Structure 1
């Protein structure tokens, strides 16, 4: 029988601090390929998502819950 408790949920702020401490770069930044490849070998993280730049992203409880206002195309 498994008696281990599930891991605690990390907040968005905790995850962002972890990513920033690792030195991950956004894919759009120059030189990010080499740095992100090196970091991903030891950490398990591949890149720093551009979604972290959204003002509400680190406070989202569900990270796949997006604000339609930021991603919806305006059709004329």
Structure 2
């Protein structure tokens, strides 16, 4: 949603909020996730850096999911 991630080239009105996306990601805990990709953060469209902060948080959660599985913390 442009209100939550304005720094993207393809905003989608009524799209997911950052909170909703993080909730979905956290629901994937225990699955064998072997790769992830975060694309299209365009600072030129985001003067407040909201998109960059959200993207870094999503990336952190994705890495944590993969690291926890490797460490055996999948419960």
* TM-score of the pair, normalised by structure 1: 0.28
Query: Which of the two has higher C-alpha Rg?
Result: 1
